Structure 1
Amino acid sequence: MKRIFAACLAVSCCTSAFTARADEPSFTLAQALERAGATSPAIESGAAGVLAAQAARSVAGLRPNPELNIQTENVAGSGDYRGFRSAETTAQVTLPLELGGKRPARVALANAQQDRAQIEQAVIVADLRLAVTQAYVTAVSAAERASVAQRQVAIAAEALRAAQARVRAGRASPLEAQRAELAHLNAQATQEQAERLANVARANLGRLIGGPVAGTLDLRWFETLAVAGPVDRAAVSDMLTARAAALDVATADAQVRLAGAQRVPDLQLFAGPRRLSGSNDTAMLMGINIPLQIFDNGGAAQAQARAERQRADATRRMTEIQLDQAIASADAEVANAEIAARIASGPALAAAQEAARIARIGYREGRFGQIDLIEAERALLDTRMAAIDALATYHDASARRDRLVAPASLFAKD
């Protein structure tokens, strides 16, 4: 997946060390998608489905096999028919004749099913891309939460040292040192929990792409928000979900055609030599088998196929309506998430950082109380976490929208 270079970087919620780490070589989303495409069992499943449909297309084009029937009559009886003296042996070849265009109808159905299998393969690929993207977003956001928690431990440790110094200087009561120590312990616990969740998210991403994730994740991509503007998309009818529903209709059409062809009875021509053991003569046997469609003339099967076709067409129209509604909702969700991410990682974060900086300076100089410092630090932590959550929500919403609007042509193969 190509990165969007024409984008606005959100205001960083990290220190200079954090920015330096973002510039290091990282394991990108494109690399994760590439690895998943090469190793995922889902891809193998989709490819096997296409191969099966191609084989079914070959089978549909074959003519019915002839039959060879050898039978012996008038044997093992009594009198003149004792033993094989009066045996009549016939070697008969039966040739089925398909009428009504059954073979072209079978081929048309197999072609439709093959097209449907190819779209199903594309759907599998699109779903895998979505799953990998969501796992990547979860992993990078969890890593950022762990990083914020780690910095919060350092901030809490500094606050603890400042409180202890104030207590030793007689400028504050021992209660302040106790509060600072409790905040430090809580920060350490939060860090341990965040690191554990980050390790789990990273391991889950590795399981999905078929191997461990090496290096840091792409923070620059995570912080990038796409520039809002008009979106050039394929028509709803050309999107993967709608295209799959349309091919279901095409398959149902082919089923109707095949059901109509099957109403025409097939003939069987047979011929072969018959040897008469009693006179040692040979004669030819020829004939034709004509089915009598007395109880089942195929009308019910054709009516069923027509009803299935009607249902497939109704499902297609309903799918397009629902897809259109889902895209509109997804557009609104992405737009709202983009605004929330810009605010949370921009003005809101800057304000919280400035408030915390002022509170630290004021606390060290004795102008602010410890409660003011604790509240400012808590607000900064909450804002940093909210910024990460907002970015994760934005990327998740974008990935789900991309899956909705994915055109079938994007996955077409030569």
Structure 2
Amino acid sequence: MIRLVAVLVTVTSCVAIAHAQQAGGVSRPISEPLLTLDDAIALATGSAPAAEAATAEVDSAEAGRRVAGLRPNPALLVEVENFVGTGPYSGVNGADVTASLAIPLELGGKRRARIAVADAEARRALLARTIVQADIRLQVTELYIQATAARIRFAIAEDQFRIASDTARAATVRVQAGRASPLEQERAEVARLNAEVDVDRTRRLADAARTNLARRVGRPITAPLDVSILGGPTGGTVGPPRPASSAGTLALAAAEAELATADAGVQLARSQRAPDLTIGPGVRRIEATNDVAAVFSISMPLPLFNNGRAAVEAANARRRRADAQRRMTALDVEQQISDAEVDVHNAAAAARIASGPALSAAMEAARIARIGYREGKFGQLELLDAERTLTETRSASIEALASYQLARARLERLTAPAPIEGN
């Protein structure tokens, strides 16, 4: 029966597209390729500002990694002594000149710790880009499903309007032949007008859904959409949800990346407690004897006021916060996965029911009622009731299939695996 619904969906969608093209005065070749979901995702990923921002963040993190590996620059010092004084030291003729280099020496593993922080931030940026791509995929999938479902609803409304118009014409013929009362003609005309209003309403909704999808992919959508995306669940009985686990998911990987960055920050803060040395080898020219002598200086800061302990405590606090957030994320993700799995199972059951024997029976009942009404075997009320039941069953089927696919997409986003490091 799911295959029957897929056929119905395909046929009605093609009818809707043809009518929409005629209404817009646009002639397109029938062989125009479909815009598949994967195509839409690729277009959106290439044009989404969020993806561009995430890529820029990765580039920034990689540049930061290169900066972290650089050693501090030396400084050139020039000292002039014994000039602009009194007596023999007046002017600059008696000045002694010393030129030296101040070379900082990082101690305590500062450079190694700085590189570790930069590496952790680079991994976090790569993971954030993967998360953005997964979010874009979910957003486009939801919009694609909504646009496809809206297009099919429009097709169903057009089909019902066609049937209502045929019924109104048949009622007119019956009234003119004296086989029915004018009341029957009035009821048929009311049903036709309501169907026409429904066509306008569903057309606007379909156009809005298509526009939203076009806005996300970054270009107008002229190609038809792939209606097979609304296929129903396969298999038989729906079993109980499997135990939810957050292990390996993107959300937990992001929390673990934050914890790794905080760990690296703790090591960096500890390394900062070790004072650095600055050595200054140089030469001095003594003006009085015109001799040259070597000089050497060494300096080290005294940690009297800031010994780095407060920075280490702050880094440890950030690390504890990141660890707590990781544990909270694991609990939240497992709950979200569990809820999403229940939603998928419920939506699958609803899709099977809505697209199963009920739809088949409604279609057959409407077909028999139309034939019987034309042959005078059934009254108008029976026909209208059968058509209304078919419309409601069709709508319920499309809603159930769309809900099922949306629930699946959200579950896939929650369980999306984190990229393996190095790939």
| TM over 0.5, shorter chain | yes
1:11 paired to 2:5: yes
Q: What is the alpha-carbon distance in structure 1 between the residues aligned to residue 78 and residue 199 of structure 2?
A: 84
Distance 1:235 1:99 in 2: 44
Give the superposition deviation at 1:210: 2.7
Out of 208, 211, 231, the position equivalent to 2:216 is 208
1:14–1:334: structure 2 CA closer, same or farther, 3 Å change rule?
Answer: same
**1:114 paired to 2:108:** no
What do the CA deviations read for 1:86-135 (whole angstroms, capped 9, x no partner)?
33332221010111111111111111111111111111111111111111
Could you tell which deviates more after superposition, 139-148 or 20-29? 20-29
Report what 2:20 is aligned to. none
* Preserved contact between residue 9 and residue 227 of structure 2 (Cα < 8 Å): no
Deviations 1:196-239 (Å, cap 9, x if unpaired)?
A: 22122223222222333343211223124243679999962211
- 2: distance between equivalents of 1:77 and 1:338? 96
Secondary structure class of the residue paired with 1:70: strand
Task: Give the Cα–Cα distance (whole angstroms) in 2 for the partners of residues 15 and 79 of structure 1.
Answer: 106
Using the TM superposition, give the Cα deviation of residue 412 of structure 1 relative to its aligned residue in structure 2, in angstroms: 6.1
Q: Residues 305-341 of structure 1: CA distance to partner in whole angstroms, max 9, x if unpaired?
A: 1111111111111111111111111111001111111
CA–CA separation in structure 2 for the residues paired with 1:218 and 1:255: 49
Range 191-200 or range 324-333, more displaced: 191-200
8 Å contact 2:158–2:199 — kept in the other structure? Answer: yes
Q: Which moved more, 1:210-219 or 1:183-192?
A: 210-219
List per-residue Cα deviations over 1:316-372 (Å, max 9, x = no partner).
111111111111111110011111112112222222223323333343344544333
Give the Å deviation of 1:401. 0.4
1:174 to 156, 170, 182: 182
2:356 corresponds, among 343, 346, 359, to 346
Q: Equivalents in 2 of 1:61, 1:234: separation in Å?
A: 42
Q: Find the counterpart in structure 1 of residue 373 from structure 2.
A: 363
Identity among equivalent pairs (%): 47
Distance 1:139 1:320 in 2: 34
* Cα shift at 1:80: 4.2
Q: Residue 332 of structure 2 corresponds to which residue in structure 1?
A: 322
- 1:194 matched to 2:202? The reply is yes
Letter paired with 1:114: A
Among 299, 302, 323, which residue is 1:289 paired with?
299
Deviation at 1:278, TM superposition (A): 5.1
User: In the TM superposition, what is the alpha-carbon distance from 1:39 to its structure 2 partner?
Assistant: 3.5
Distance 2:10 2:252 in 1: 48
Q: Which residue of 2 aligns with 1:271?
A: 281
Q: Distance in 2 between matches of 1:75 and 1:333?
A: 87
- Distance in 2 (CA, whole Å) between partners of 1:311 and 1:191 is 55
Q: Distance in 2 between matches of 1:251 and 1:226?
A: 44
Q: Distance in 2 between matches of 1:337 and 1:302?
A: 51
Q: Mapping of 1:11-410 within 5 angstroms?
A: 11-12=5-6, 14=8, 17-18=11-12, 26-227=34-235, 236-277=246-287, 279-409=289-419
Moved more, 40-49 or 52-61: 40-49
Q: Quick check: 71-80 or 44-53, which moved more? A: 71-80
- How many angstroms apart in 1 are the aligned matches of 2:271 and 2:62? 22
The CA RMSD measured in Å over matched residues stands at 2.8
- Paired with 1:19 and 1:283, the residues of 2 have a C-alpha distance of 93
Give the CA deviation at 1:58: 1.5
Distance 1:372 1:382, change over 3 A: same
Deviation (angstroms), 1:256: 0.7
* Structure 1: gaps (5+ residues): 1-6
- CA shift digits 1:255-274 (9 cap, x unpaired): 11111111111111113223
Asked if the contact 1:233/1:405 (under 8 Å) is kept, the reply is no
Instruction: For residue 174 of structure 2, give the secondary structure of its aligned residue in structure 1.
Output: helix
Which residue identity does 1:72 align to in structure 2?
A: V
Contact kept? 2:2, 2:352, Cα under 8 Å: no
Measure the CA separation in 2 of the matches of 1:340 and 1:264. 66
Distance of aligned partners of 1:365 and 1:67 in 2 relative to their CA distance in 1, 3 Å threshold: same
SS at match of 1:213: coil
Secondary structure of the structure 2 residue equivalent to 1:99: coil
Shift of 1:40: 3.2
